[in-house]
Amino acid sequence: MPTARDLFALDRRFWIPNLVFLLDGAAYFGILNLLTLHLGTTLGLGDMLAGQLVSYMTGALTLFMAVFGSAVDRVGVRKTMTWTIVAALVGRALLVVVPAGPLAVPAAIVALTAIAFGAGLLQTAVYAAVKQATDEATSGVGFSLIYSLMNLGIVLESLASSTLRARYGTTGVFAACAALTAIYLVIHLALFPSNAGAPVPALPTEKGDTGARAHPLTDRRFLTFIFALLGVRTLFAHQWLTMPDYVTRCFPAEVGAKFEWISALNPAIIVVGTPLVAVLTARVPVLTMMIVGTSLSAASTLLLVGEPNLTLLLTYVVLFSVGEALWSSRFLEYVAQLAPPDQLGTYMGIANVPWFLAKFTTGLYSGWMLQRYIPPANGASHQDPATLWAIYAVIALSSPALLIVASPWLRERPAAVRAATTS
């Protein structure tokens, strides 16, 4: 079992990407958590268009990872991080100055595209950096730590966001996020070792090999495994597509004003829970962790099937977060262990295709669901959040159900892969 000494013995190749990812988590989610409110209210685009644009950005982010993830292997970690941070900075700065009116939609699309490209490939580059900087003894905790630190950034941003929003509006929060991006661009350029993060050379093929390496798209079990998570992943998208409007429309104004504090509970639990779970469950098979974790996250949504209640809402956030801590970082570790060193970007990209589908498709109907079941208080008087959350719970519960049904087949993997999933 790895110790804290093993982890802190790692050099700047590990810690600078982690610091960048922490600050990027604050900047990215600082915008994402308020994006539907900003687009729908500040820019006056309405629920449906705002949801579609947010879905476009989050979906494009994952699509960029899938399509261009292999570029990290060819370009290298350091150069990829540099250009992706620059792209994110440009997009976030542009989003600050997007005006209401006829230019709002095209300008927002350009800004959101740049943000998606930068954040998506930065994530892949940081994963590659962690794999390159760790060994077999530290990789599991290393991947859990990177996921945890990203969530720490979300916690810090969430605690500051409501104060900034009260004084300067959503535009002020977005300006702070753009400034933070400029800060960690400087940190990366100044402190990431210039002789590290180079492209990974292609591995030589075995004697008698045709020279063509198996692609993850040819592995039916791998594809079944990642696509089974599609249902529960929609709940993650609803944290920014549905939850802000649910809290501000269905709860008293004083609760809505502190929405970011409620939102911060999730990453706060992840910060502590993910590394702890990684250490305590290091010998538990990945599939088992997936079933337990997704079951808890999905079933917790049933707590919202009723009249809005702050205690139940907070309990939901806690249970959903514990479920997330049980499986999220182990999923990343599983993919990294399957991938050859020169194909990590490709594997990470393909593994995120279901995440792209969840984020993209969820935004296509989330605005309609809000208008149908949780219209604004100054609009239609009828609100039925219980039905909305019941529908979303059924969708989410499909993930553990599929994993349970397919588990006998999913466990029948080659010996080398079985070892990777249980190490």
pLDDT at 2 over 60: no
* Residue 386 exposed, middle or buried by CB count within 10 Å (0-12, 13-18, 19+): middle
Higher pLDDT, 322 or 210: 322
The tokens of 39 are what?
A: 């687009």
At 213, the pLDDT band (50, 70, 90 cuts) reads low
| 414 vs 276, higher pLDDT | 276
Report the C-alpha gap between 75 and 241 in whole angstroms.
Answer: 34
The pLDDT score that the predictor gives to residue 214 is 64
What integer pLDDT is reported at residue 378 of this predicted model?
55
- Spatial neighbors of 198 by CB under 8 A, at least 6 apart, are 76, 77, 78
Residue 385's pLDDT band, with cuts at 50, 70 and 90, is very high
- CATH class label, 10-196+218-422: mainly alpha
Question: Given a cut of 70, is residue 381 above it in pLDDT?
Answer: no
Flag whether pLDDT at 125 surpasses 60.
Answer: yes
Rounded to an integer, what is the distance from CA 207 to the centroid of its chain? Answer: 40
Alpha helices by DSSP H, listed for 210-257, are 220-227, 230-241, 243-250, 253-256
Dist. CA 131–CA 112, nearest whole Å = 29
Whole-prediction pTM = 0.69
pLDDT reported for residue 85:
96
pLDDT surpasses 80 at 120? yes
pLDDT, mean of residues 86-104: 88
| DSSP single-letter state for residue 383 | -
- CB atoms inside a 10 Å sphere around CB 94: 18
Instruction: Please give the DSSP secondary-structure letter assigned to residue 378.
Output: T
**Could you give the CA distance from residue 266 to residue 276 in angstroms, rounded to a whole number?**
15
Are 240 and 157 spatial neighbours (Cβ–Cβ below 8 Å)?
no
pLDDT for 187 equals: 94
What's the pLDDT at 420? 43
To 10 degrees, the CA torsion angle through 151, 152, 153, 155?
90
Please give the average per-residue pLDDT across 335-353, as a whole number: 72
What does DSSP assign to residue 340? -
| Percent of the chain residues topping a pLDDT of 90 | 26
pLDDT digits (tens, 9 = 90+) for 28-77: 989 988 898 888 888 888 888 888 888 889 878 878 887 777 777 788 88
Residue 139 pLDDT greater than 80, yes or no: no
3-class SS of residue 398: helix
* pLDDT score recorded for residue 207: 46
Cα–Cα nearest to 23, from 102, 126, 169:
126
Q: Are 379 and 249 in contact (CB under 8 A)?
A: no
Give the per-residue pLDDT at 45: 83
Closest Cα partner for 353 from 64, 147, 53?
Answer: 64
pLDDT digits (tens, 9 = 90+) for 280-307: 887 788 788 889 999 999 999 999 998 9
Residue matched to tokens 């990777």: 420
Domain assignments of the chain as residue spans, ordered by start: 10-196+218-422
Q: What is the pLDDT of residues 239-281, one digit of tens each?
A: 888 898 899 888 988 888 888 788 888 888 888 888 788 778 8
Q: Among 128-137, 259-268, 318-327, name the most confident range.
A: 318-327
Cβ-in-10-Å burial (0-12, 13-18, 19+) of 117 comes to buried
- Decide which of 103 and 197 is more confident: 103
Instruction: Find the range with the poorest average confidence among 89-98, 127-136, 343-352.
Output: 343-352
DSSP 341: G
Asked if residue 423 has pLDDT above 70, the reply is: no
Task: Specify whether the backbone of 46 is left (phi greater than 0), alpha (psi in -120 to 50) or beta.
Answer: left
Residue 422, pLDDT above cutoff 50: no
CB contact at 8 A, 105 and 92? no
Which of 191, 203, 201 minimizes the C-alpha distance to 78?
Answer: 191
